[in-house]
Amino acid sequence: MQSDESALGSVSMPQNEQPSKRVGVVGASGYTGAEMMRLLHGHPNLELVVATGDSKAGTRIADLYPSLAAAYGDRTFDAFSPEIVDGLDLVFCGLPHGISQSVIPKIRGTVGHIVDLGSDFRLHDKNLYPAWYGAEHEHPALLDEFVYGLPELFRDKIAGAELIAATGCNAATAVFALAPLLEAGMIDGTGLIIDLVTGVSGAGRPPKENTTFCTVDENVTAYGLLTHRHTPEIEQALTERTGVETSVLFTPHLAPMNRGIIATCYARPAQDGLTTETALAAMADFYAEEPFMVVDERSPSTKAVLGSNAVHLTARVDQRTGHVMAIAVLDNLMKGASGMAIQCANLALGLPETTGLTSIGMYP
């Protein structure tokens, strides 16, 4: 379907005068869907027309998420059908893994753009899906048609794209930390170690045995040992951006906090004479023009980015042990999911990239 941008030609319009784009959220009843609805309500150029949630169809949005009551009143979740999104400018898919594969082929061509927040189309190699997700991909021919939705690294590919696979929250955090030093030739791409801590909302809204209050409270657990699904995604993104073949040992930990991710990454130096100052300078140069990236000597914290689309980063070089350390933090529901998806949507629709997003966190 032809988008409205073509009618505008090369005319530049102020942000508040951009024509409204009609969008839908398929899978709006999950945590990323709720965050998406919050962001869309404050977005000056995106109008939420459809919000589906099959398990909650007919339920008032405010009953499931009272925080959204002032925005959505008595509005209820829609039941999904391909026809319900027909003609929309853009659709966000916030579905569990495996579901987007059956949904997106049915709506592609009837909507202008699709941003998939799930993992169904992130990997380029179809053979990685049975190896890391335990099942063959249902539509492998579509994998090459999706662009990887990490704006700070692949902005040119995302701009105007029809199909975008938004980055996973764990993968984004690790890639943000490592990409600058890898591209600068400062670290070895083999044997990268990623030690990551994440909040419970990353596991989704439906209750699970390992995410109940009594299990999570006062407890930190390592999971996905050697097998976490974001491993090949991290390697793919780093290699695609930097041209350096990478191998990653990735270990996430579940911590008793609602939201937030901190990734502490370790690498061996690939240059003599590397110092903390030169590593920080390379990281700062890499993100110098990026509105959501903050590079500082301070040790970053998850609370500092809460509710924002910001990423806080730092780096250290340990001469004693011969290691380079890079740290990144972000809010997994914002920059790790819905905020990044909005950023990708802005690029796809020709809107200013930062529209509807903030780099300022909530505190305390």
Assign 3-class secondary structure to the chain. Answer: CCCCHHHHCCCCCCHHHCCCEEEEEECCCCHHHHHHHHHHHCCCCEEEEEEECHHHCCCEHHHHCHHHHHHHCCCECECCCHHHHCCCCEEEECCCCCCHHHHHHHHECCECEEEECCCCCCCCCCCHHHHHHCCCCCCHHHHHHCEEECHHHHHHHHCCCCEEEECCHHHHHHHHHHHHHHHCCCECCCCEEEEEEECHHHHCCCCCHHHCHHHHCCCCEECCCCCCCHHHHHHHHHHHHHCCCCCEEEEEEECCCCCCEEEEEEECECCCCCCHHHHHHHHHHHCCCCCCEEECCCCCCHHHHCCCCCEEEEEEEECCCCEEEEEEEECCCHHHHHHHHHHHHHHHHCCCCCCCCCCCCCCC
Amino acid sitting at position 229: R
State the pLDDT at residue 54.
Answer: 87
State the pLDDT at residue 17.
Answer: 63
State the pLDDT at residue 147.
Answer: 98
Per-residue pLDDT of the chain (364 residues; tens, 9 = 90+): 333 333 333 333 344 566 799 999 999 999 999 999 999 999 999 999 999 998 899 999 999 999 999 999 999 999 999 999 999 999 999 999 999 999 999 999 999 999 999 999 999 999 999 999 999 999 999 999 999 999 999 999 999 999 999 999 999 999 999 999 999 999 999 999 999 999 998 888 877 888 888 889 999 999 999 999 999 999 999 999 999 999 999 999 999 999 999 999 999 999 999 999 999 999 999 999 999 999 999 999 999 999 999 999 999 999 999 999 999 999 999 999 999 999 999 999 999 999 999 999 999 8
Q: Could you give the angle at the alpha carbon of 29 between the alpha carbons of 151 and 251, nearest 5°?
A: 55
Catalytic residue set: 169
**CB 37 within 8 Å of CB 28:** yes
Q: β-strands 46-52, 21-26: how paired?
A: parallel
**Distance of alpha carbon 24 from alpha carbon 78, whole angstroms:** 10
State the pLDDT at residue 4.
Answer: 36
State the pLDDT at residue 362.
Answer: 95
Structure tokens at 180: 């600058």
Beta bridge partners of 90: 23, 113
**Distance of alpha carbon 328 from alpha carbon 239, whole angstroms:** 19
What pTM did the predictor assign? 0.93
Give the neighbor-by-neighbor strand order of the sheet with 311-318.
Answer: 221-222, 248-254, 192-198, 261-267, 323-330, 311-318, 293-295
Phi and psi at residue 261, to the nearest 5°: -140, 140
State the pLDDT at residue 15.
Answer: 47
The domains of the chain, with CATH numbers, are 5-167+336-349 (3.40.50.720), 170-331 (3.30.360.10)
State the pLDDT at residue 3.
Answer: 37
Structure tokens at 349: 């629709």
Beta bridge partners of 261: 198, 330
**CB 172 within 8 Å of CB 149:** no
